[in-house]
Amino acid sequence: MAADKKKIAASCWVKAGEAMHKANWDYAVDMFSQCVMLSPDSLAYRQHLRGAERKKYKDNKTGAKMAGMRLMKVKATIKKARLTKSWENIDRKAEEGLKVNPWDPYLNAALGEACVNLGYQEVAVFGYGKAVEAEPDNREYNRQLALLLEERGNYTEAISCWERIYKIDPLDSEARSKITQLQASSTLEHGGYVDATSTQDVRTGYDYDRPVKSTSPDAVDGPGVSVEADLQRAIRKNPADVNSYLKLSDLYRREKKLSEAAETLQKALQVSGGGDQNIREQLEDVELDQLRFNLAIARQATLDNPEDETAKKNSAALARELLNREIEVFSSRVERYPKDSRLKYELACRFLRVKKWEQAIPILQGAGTDTRLVCEICVALGECFLNVNQIGMARTQFQRAVDQLNPYDKPNLFKKAHYALGRLCEQSDDRESSEKHYIEILAVDYEYRDARQRLERLQSEA
């Protein structure tokens, strides 16, 4: 049956190509639509369908006449289908609407959401990418695209999404932390840390691409040749202008020149009179960057030389230093921004790592109003209550989490919550419930911890 579908799709593909060659866009759209229906996980089919749809409307960016009115019913159907998680229906309806306006950001995002839940990851990236292209200032579209790109290891584009979010809302702590985290991941993955001994030895992607500059004292960049030189010139011209220092520090940070970034921010702080909280926070972030990058170097050294005890001790010491510094920074920011749920959650996660359960509990409860974090908070609270021997409260939190989780959106959290409940049900001799939780896990990850062995033992004892 699958082979028949592929054969039919291939035939439709040929017909669509012939129609495009003749500029018969209506027929091309029909044929590419057939391809998508027969093979919904194919990125190529979706890309060509969208291209034909756009050509049909002569790239006018608005689609058919009265598109807004015509799409109201389609969008209402999608909203209703989302409540029942009818992802295939959402996929079909989104494509139906995109025939009317292929640039519509809501429909492209709906397509992305449906494909995430259907397991069509490449198409999901494509859908959210088109949504961001049409509406670049939409935080949620950028966030979903960033998470998908990160999952696929595309750190550079993911960072761009988070930077757009941060530009929209400089108080978005998730964007701040993600930019730092992904910059570190990208640098480590692309060769910055393997042979380095400190952050000063790390080459960046920027350095690979730029031409080698003369080391002659007489070699000075003229205006417009170097952003760095232009900003340094602006500082010399007006040393009281804090903005020039901030722009230069941001440039250094993006180039992974963290010592220069910190030094520039120190100067900016002095120029501002020492009391600018925003500059202090940026300096704190750079200091955390330095610790993270040095930890990445230390961990790589440990991987390269597993028998080197000194390397292991250095890595462990840096990890403790970073964790303690993060707790210090996040604690002060939670006091400063008491309504920032993401900051509270990040601080609580650090307390969990040092097993300060009772300190984490009220912070997590204070962040519980954020619907975007409800599952993460429930699981973290469940872990805390479990470790302070409040078994009933732990079970309640884990159950709240699994009631809202699915294995596609947050697979690790899904497995963690079900595993905890499986163990708790075992301890209370509720074998039937325990088996159900282990089966949920094994359906998506057959090798998860010892879930399979526990299920087999329960079934053999029945």
Q: pLDDT digit string (tens) for 303-334?
A: 888 888 888 888 898 899 999 999 999 999 99
Average pLDDT over residues 338-350: 92
Residue 433 pLDDT > 90, yes or no? yes
Residue 21 pLDDT:
78
Average pLDDT over residues 114-140: 93
CATH class of residue range 191-206+225-337: mainly alpha
Residues in the chain: 462
Residue 418 pLDDT:
95
Q: Are 145 and 132 in contact (CB under 8 A)?
A: yes
Q: How many CB atoms lie within 10 A of CB 357?
A: 19
pLDDT tens digits, one per residue of 359-381: 999 999 998 777 888 999 999 99
Residue 421 pLDDT > 80, yes or no? yes
User: Which of 152-161, 178-187, 297-306 is the least confident region?
Assistant: 178-187
In order of 339, 391, 414, the CA distances from 367 in angstroms are 8, 22, 20
DSSP class of 435: H
Q: How many CB atoms lie within 10 A of CB 403?
A: 10
Residue 3 pLDDT:
63
Contacts of 374 (CB under 8 A, 6+ apart): 368, 400, 404
pLDDT band at 138 (very low <50, low <70, confident <90, very high): very high
Residue 296 pLDDT:
83
Return residue ranges of the chain for CATH 1.25.40.10: 191-206+225-337
Q: Are 180 and 155 in contact (CB under 8 A)?
A: no
Q: Does domain 2-134 have CATH number 1.10.20?
A: no
pLDDT tens digits, one per residue of 80-117: 999 999 999 999 999 999 999 999 999 999 999 999 99
Residue 270 pLDDT > 80, yes or no? yes
Q: Which amino acid is at 363?
A: I
Cα gap 125→321, rounded to integer Å: 37
Cα gap 173→157, rounded to integer Å: 19
Cα gap 152→331, rounded to integer Å: 32
pLDDT band at 71 (very low <50, low <70, confident <90, very high): very high
Residue 222 pLDDT:
52
Longest dimension (CA), the chain: 85
Residue 214 pLDDT > 60, yes or no? no
Contacts of 122 (CB under 8 A, 6+ apart): 41, 43
Which tokens belong to 323?
């964790």
Which tokens belong to 376?
């993460």
Average pLDDT over residues 416-437: 94
Q: Are 108 and 98 in contact (CB under 8 A)?
A: yes
Which tokens belong to 202?
């790390």
Per cent of the chain over pLDDT 70 is 90
DSSP class of 355: T
CA angle 40, 26, 131 (to 5 degrees): 50
Per cent of the chain over pLDDT 90 is 52
Residue 212 pLDDT:
33
Residue 186 pLDDT > 80, yes or no? no
